[in-house]
Chain A
């Protein structure tokens, strides 16, 4: 359940921005979640609701923006987009792929008051 620590990190980023930007309430949070980020979105929602209680982000809506997974194929040497981690290379059918993108969880922007 590392989503809980991700939520705590997310809250840390939000609270830092609140101090810097001087807002007091967050209505909506847009998160970019990579396909390979290893994040369970329902777990993230649940965790965030819990950690955000009593903070500027209490009750804020979490919106997820999916980012495709990218991987480097050891067989054809191309960087390809993958739907699932274990899919074969769409280019050559190879199965030895090293993820090279889509592993991040990024806080894009927030609607604040």
Chain B
């Protein structure tokens, strides 16, 4: 871990950006202004290596022994406040680019990447998209995404079980994004830990495949409760399963009463039109809101002339 900026998840790397940089160990020096200006040194690993970013591999912690009178220090700080600061700066960056950022959460194998690939194929030529892929290891998913012609960057979290806002901020710096596009952030496949980390997304989308069982929303409520959209995937498999879809949906509603629920299958196309409609509506709403803000500011500036 980097003790100054709080980089977490030892061994996290990033691949697929414009230049390699190492973010850990001995050669790494932070100024403290952070919102991602990143004036620390980046080690350029050479062109043959796919672009990689190494998160804290070295323990650079201070050790300061000493003795004086014991005293109490009031802190009153949320320990995720650092993550939240990075999330806020990501959010500002996404808004600046007019990007609709979506955090995709699910257990491993729920079909996040497959849904993404199919979605990107359909959106090709209409809305420009980009993807941040989170996995513990391999850049398989980013390669699948790039095969659709969409820019993608892979974050390998190493031992880390989730993406955090700091990793996403770094990834976003290296990603080729277009004004007004959609940025999909595919989190590490995990129904537990990613729930706690705000990445700066506009909307959260949680996927659950119908093969996973009705009671998953009750067993893992955190991942569902902040979702704006819950996609029940692989519905083409329903004829072969004993799963009670009404019970599953009831359990989702219980832990996420405000979320929208869609049944989707990339195999037979069920729900894809609604999903794409939702994406387009969300993007439109975001662009309208950003344009209204910019207009209001322009009016204010003109009035001050």
Chain A interface (Cβ within 8 Å of chain B)?
Answer: 1-2, 4-6, 8-13, 15, 17-18, 21, 23-25, 27, 31, 36-38, 51, 54-56, 74, 85-86, 95-99, 104-113
Contacts and interface: CB of A to CB of B under 8 A. Distances in A.
A5 B73 contact: no
Contacts of A56: 62-64
A9 B256 CA distance: 28
A95 B254 contact: yes
B73 A13 contact: no
Contact of B63 (A10, A54, A112): A54
Nearest to A107: B75
A17 B81 CA distance: 14
B75 A54 contact: no
A1 B257 contact: no
A51 B8 CA distance: 11
**Interface majority SS (helix, strand, loop, mixed), chain B:** loop
Most interface-central of B80, B192, B258 (chain A CB within 10 A): B80
Given A17-B75, A111-B71, 12 more contacts: A5-B160, A6-B196, A11-B3, A15-B3, A15-B62, A85-B255, A104-B80, A105-B80, A107-B77, A109-B76, A110-B73, A112-B73
Interface of B: 1, 3, 6, 8-9, 59, 61-83, 160-162, 164, 192-193, 195-197, 218, 221-222, 225, 253-258
A5 to B, nearest CB: 4
A58 B8 CA distance: 19
Given A1-B193, A5-B8, A10-B79, A111 B225 contact: no
A96 B69 CA distance: 51
Contacts of B81: 13
B81 to A, nearest CB: 7
A104 B221 contact: no
B110 to A, nearest CB: 19
Contact of B196 (A2, A31, A110): A2
12 contacts: A2-B192, A6-B79, A13-B81, A15-B61, A23-B71, A24-B66, A55-B63, A56-B64, A107-B76, A111-B70, A112-B71, A113-B69
A18 to B, nearest CB: 7
B59 to A, nearest CB: 7
B166 to A, nearest CB: 10
B193 A2 contact: yes
A25 B66 contact: yes
Nearest to B193: A2
Most interface-central of A2, A51, A56, A107 (chain B CB within 10 A): A2
B75 A5 contact: no
Contacts of A5: 8-9, 160, 162, 164, 193, 197
B8 A9 contact: yes
A66 B202 CA distance: 31
A77 to B, nearest CB: 12
A64 B235 CA distance: 44
Given A27-B70, A54-B63, A55-B63, A98 B79 contact: no
Contact of A8 (B6, B63, B67, B78): B6
Contact of A12 (B3, B9, B67): B3
Nearest to B65: A24
Nearest to B9: A5
Nearest to B259: A98
Which 4 pairs between the two chains have the least Cβ-Cβ distance?
Answer: A24-B66, A2-B193, A96-B257, A12-B6
A15 B64 CA distance: 10
A13 B193 contact: no
B75 A108 contact: yes
A35 to B, nearest CB: 12
